[in-house]
Amino acid sequence: MISKKMRPFLENNSAIRMMFEEGKKMAELYGADKVYDFSLGNPNVPAPQKVGEAIKEILDEEDPLFVHGYMSNAGYPQVREAIAENLNQRFGTSFAGRNLIMTVGAGSGLNVALKTVLDPGDEVLTFAPYFLEYRAYVTNYDGVLVTVEPDTETFQVNLEAFRAKINEKTKAVIINNPNNPTGVVYSEETICALAAVLNEKQAAYGHEIYLISDEPYRELVFDGAAVPFVTKYYDNTMVVYSYSKSLSLPGERIGYLLIPDEVSESAATIDAATIANRISGCVNAPSLIQLAVGRCVDCQADLDFYDRNRKTLYEGLTSMGFDCVRPQGAFYLWMKVPAGKQAKDKASSDGCSRETAAAAGMTEAADRKELLAAEAEFVQAAKRYHILAVPGSSFACPGYVRLAYCVSYETIVNALPEFRKLAADYGLSV
């Protein structure tokens, strides 16, 4: 019999994954060029050439017994040192190889971090909208994920709501910067304010509160946006990183967990995390790709590709009247579900004007149920034009959709006329 803990997962399987599968079916039905699938954060830029070259060199030069063998559970010392050195050059930090544990992507890095610090019943705070796997990851260790409501003006951290939610049971706080799904980059001001609250609360409660900074999109930033390096602002910080997005290697499953010396009991924490990596069943991060990224620490993401997509999509959609957050980082665009259609349909069936519907509170969906209904309707309406968008409720923030623009430029250009039809259906100014 399937465990009680697993049963809810069967019922609420990832909406993003399901949409991705649906996109594949639609592509078979209508042709791939007629489907505009913005569902999955799967990079459409090939990994830098140097990654492939490094893999070939390693296979040619190194002893296969070494390349395919077991290693230390934390990863290869030379790879960890190369990454630490690269971080120190870029951020003025002073990490050593021992501060890094190579992981099976960020997903595994988050699991290792949580396994290291959580006791059953401990609370983990995160900020909506958030990467929904966080809930599953926290539940894996019998923790309780507590969501802090968003500041829908800026989508920076909602400090007031954070203060209201943090309590003696809070053991960790997860942030994701640059943010999936909003594309927002948390500013230095935000991080400083967050650190101040955390320091105050640690002192008040007399125990550590870990800040886990999930940063798979660190290098994907535009318009000169800077992503603060959080370890500089708060001692009990752990950084989770992945090469899935920056080097387009999501299937290779490679990343790391960084635990600085400033973390309390750092040596024991690093040891515990290394054991957590092992007993999670991962044992160690994959060898060949680990060695390859160790040789590619200065490789860069193709920012121009994403930037062109970002600008074309954002400018196209806003010119049609869609309300979007201007993305500063990652490769997602966060769009508000237009209020028009439900109210318009209702208004016309009631024979009243749209303004009357607005006054009756129907245009700006007032409660969660209405938001969910409006969102579901919008996602369906978009599908009629073969546009696949992920509902905001998949990120605990109904009333929005996420568009992953890590697709081909042609997909964006060809999708825009379809978005225009959708905008017209919603009575936007097209």
Helix residue spans in 151-225 (DSSP H): 159-165, 188-205
How far, CA to CA in Å, does 406 sit from each of 4, 143, 245, 288, 403? Answer: 37, 33, 10, 26, 9
Cβ 311 to ligand PLP shortest distance, Å = 21
Beta strand pairing status for 123-127 and 170-176?
Answer: parallel
Cβ 242 to ligand PLP shortest distance, Å = 3
H and E: helices and strands count for the chain: 16, 13
Separation between Cα atoms, residue 90 and residue 298, nearest integer Å: 10
Residue pair 182/155 in contact (Cβ under 8 Å)? The answer is yes
Cβ 78 to ligand PLP shortest distance, Å = 22
Beta strand pairing status for 210-214 and 170-176?
Answer: parallel
Residue identified by tokens 């309707």 is 377
Separation between Cα atoms, residue 327 and residue 329, nearest integer Å: 6
Cβ 175 to ligand PLP shortest distance, Å = 10
**What is the DSSP code string of 21-37?**
HHHHHHHHHH-GGG-EE
Which of left, alpha, beta for 361 (phi over 0: left; psi -120 to 50: alpha)? left
Nearer to ligand PLP, 176 or 393 (CB): 176
Residues near ligand PLP (CB under 6 A) are 41, 105-107, 131, 176, 180, 214, 216, 242, 244, 250, 255
Nearer to ligand PLP, 106 or 339 (CB): 106
DSSP 62: S
Cβ 131 to ligand PLP shortest distance, Å = 4
Nearer to ligand PLP, 201 or 245 (CB): 245
Cβ 22 to ligand PLP shortest distance, Å = 18
Residue pair 306/220 in contact (Cβ under 8 Å)? The answer is yes
Nearer to ligand PLP, 95 or 131 (CB): 131
Q: Which two tokens stand for residue 248?
A: 């387009």
CB atoms within 10 A of CB 401: 26
Nearer to ligand PLP, 220 or 423 (CB): 220
Residue 237, φ and ψ in degrees, nearest 5: -105, 140
Nearer to ligand PLP, 170 or 176 (CB): 176
Cβ 354 to ligand PLP shortest distance, Å = 37
Cβ 145 to ligand PLP shortest distance, Å = 14
Q: Which helix (H) or strand (E) holds 145?
A: strand 144-148
Cβ 107 to ligand PLP shortest distance, Å = 3
Closest by CA position to 334, among listed 154, 64, 114: 154
Nearer to ligand PLP, 41 or 75 (CB): 41
How far, CA to CA in Å, does 169 sit from each of 112, 210, 211? Answer: 20, 12, 14
Nearer to ligand PLP, 107 or 183 (CB): 107
Nearer to ligand PLP, 41 or 340 (CB): 41
